[in-house]
Every structure is written in structure tokens, then in C-alpha cells.
Amino acid sequence: MTAPTFGMEVQATDGMARAGVLQTAHGPIQTPVFMPVGTAGTVKAMTPAAVKQTGATIILGNTYHLMLRPGSELVQEMGGLHRFMNWPGPILTDSGGFQVMSLAGLRKLDADGVTFRSHVDGAHVRLTPESSTLIQDRLDATITMAFDECTPWPATEQQARESMELSMRWAERCRTAFRARPGYGQFGIVQGGTFETLRLQSASTLTDIGFDGYAVGGLAVGEGQAEMFRTLDFTTPALPQDRPRYLMGVGKPDDLVGAVQRGVDMFDCVAPTRSGRNGQAFTRRGTVNLRNSRHRSDPRPLDETCPCPACQDHSRAYLHHLIKAKEILAAMLLTWHNLTYYQALMQQMRTAILQGRMDDMAAAFAEEQAKGDIPPRD
């Protein structure tokens, strides 16, 4: 069977919000979409079949971590990351650019690339735009990300400019190094801190290079939601209408709703999986901390409207017990729940956009979240 051409069809808009379908070599993706994070070739505490049951259609892997362990050459020998981890659907791979920022004490940056000291064994490893692109090719990533420097926050305008301009030079090298084939795509990453002039310059440069999609990087790094939304207000309109838009590393449920209203199509974040491993659940009535003693003898489900096993098969009391006993099942069930909730939220937004009622959906979401979790009866 011939692989489809990589591309996005925008099916409906409601204000800035968009609902569409992204065609890829590994299947279609309905947008807006949330991508569970599988940094090292696994979504923590979940089997691939369980991830699929949450409604996820695409997951994220990471170039830096997979190049260290088990190595991109081995993954390629095993038939690529899809076969290696038994996830036949689309995979997007982060290029390692976030590690350029987050591992500042373990790396040396220069004009050509970055030399890291491995957090695994201390060995020196090198990433350049070309090698990052090659590694993602070996992994058989459906969506390859350009290698960039994720600008830290806070940054002066001069610091943000220098960082952005370096990322744009790298972006051009990544595009040259990318091996085009049917159904596969490469995204450029807009940088520039929270400075409008820099963001618009970055978006223009990337558009001129010509990527298959565009990501907004360098947000959710400490600037706060209001500043993030302000930056999106002038960044997303500068991106091509016929290409997918991806907000990297975002976020909490209210971040997702606000960003969709500002024209974002794709998201990833560790929040639902990390919170699940730490006893925290996201629900339609806000965040619930199941470590709290008030859940110790509560026979109710976490959320009676949720179809996940944590809610359908177990009580809050049991979930609380698992957490207190430090049982692995606690992380499994709560991660399953959180990912199910995130996927349901994305589907609610998609439906609202198709029906032309995104603002009403967002208002109802905020109202329900503000109510908070219902305490047990005395």
C-alpha cells in the first residue's frame, strides 16, 4: 500500500481554534491532539495497548535519551522504534533541543552543535543539526523535529535574539539533512522568548525554509500561563494556515484549552504521566490528590463518568491504599486515568470546534473546574 502524502486538512475553524486531520505514513491523526510522552521508548507505567485504549493516536519519543540508551543503531536494527516498542501508530521525536537548555551544566554549546556529558555514564556525546536528524531517521520517526536551542526563561531580548538566530541557522541545516519520503514530515521550531519581533522573525524564517509543520518552542519554561497565551496570540497567526502547529511541552488542562483557542493543533506534556506516578489525578472537577486521608474510606469512584479502569473498577479508597502502600499498580491506574482524561478533553474540544461552540465549551470547562472535587458525605 502506498503511504499517504504527509499533510493536514483543516476541517473546521471556530475563531482561531482548528479541527483537522493530519495524514501520515503511520495513520491519520485527528486534531487537536495530545501526545503522551514516551521519552525512552515507553510511556511510563503503561503498555502500548493501554496507551491506545486511552484514545491516543500518536506518542512522543526523544532523540537524546534514545541515542544514549539503547542507541539509535540498535533501534534501527530492530526495525525502528514503532516495531521496537510495539507502537504501530505515528511517533514524533523531540530533537534533543530541550536538553540543550535543561542539561546546561552537562553540555557545551557552540555554533556547530552541542557536546553533552551523558547523564547515564558520563561519556561525551555530540549532537548537531545533521546528527539529530540522522538519529531520528534511524528511529523511523513519523515526525522529525528540527534541532534547536530551547531559549531559557528569563532571557534578555539580546539573549533571546542570539539563541533564536542560532536555532534558525540550525533549522536550515536540519531541513537540508532531512530525508524526505511519503508520509513522513519535519517540523521547524519557532523561538524568540516572549518578544513579538523575534517570534515573528523566527516564524518568517522557518516559513521561508519550508517545513511540513511548525512548533512553538521555548514556552512553558517558567513564564506563566498569561505570558504564554500572550505570546501565542501573536505567534500562531504568523504560521501557515495549511500546516500543523505544535506547542511543545504544554501542559495542564486549562493550558490546552486556552492554546487550542489560540490556534494550536498538537501538544505533549509529562504532566498526566508524572502526576499519575505521584498520586495526582486530573478530572473534570479539577485536580484530585489521592494521597489525602479524606479518600481513605471513600467508596466512590474517582470520576463516575470516566471509562478508564481506575474509575470503572476501583474505589477512591483502594486507589488511596495503593498509593500509601507504594504499589506499582497505583502508578499504572492513575496514569491510565490521566491519559484517558486528556484524550477525552481533546475530543471534547474537537467536537466543539466542529459544531462552532468552542468558546461555550471553554466557559463550561472553566466553570466545572472551578467547582472543585466533591467531598465525601459524612
265 flagged as catalytic = no
- Strands 91-94 vs 59-62: parallel, antiparallel or unpaired: parallel
Catalytic residue among 14, 212, 255, 268: 268
- The one-letter code for the residue type at 159 is Q
Beta pairing class for 17-23 and 286-289: unpaired
Extract the C-alpha cell encoding 180: 524526505
Q: Which residue is it, cell 516559513?
A: 207
Of 333, 367, 342, 361, give the one whose Cα is nearest residue 282: 342
Look up 94 and say whether it is catalytic: yes
Active-site pick, 94, 140, 148, 255: 94
Please give the grid coordinates belonging to residue 170.
540550525
C-alpha 350/C-alpha 367 separation (Å) is 19
Contacts of 78 (CB under 8 A, 6+ apart): 84
309 in Cβ contact with 366 (< 8 Å): no
Cell of 318: 483502594
Active-site positions read: 94, 268
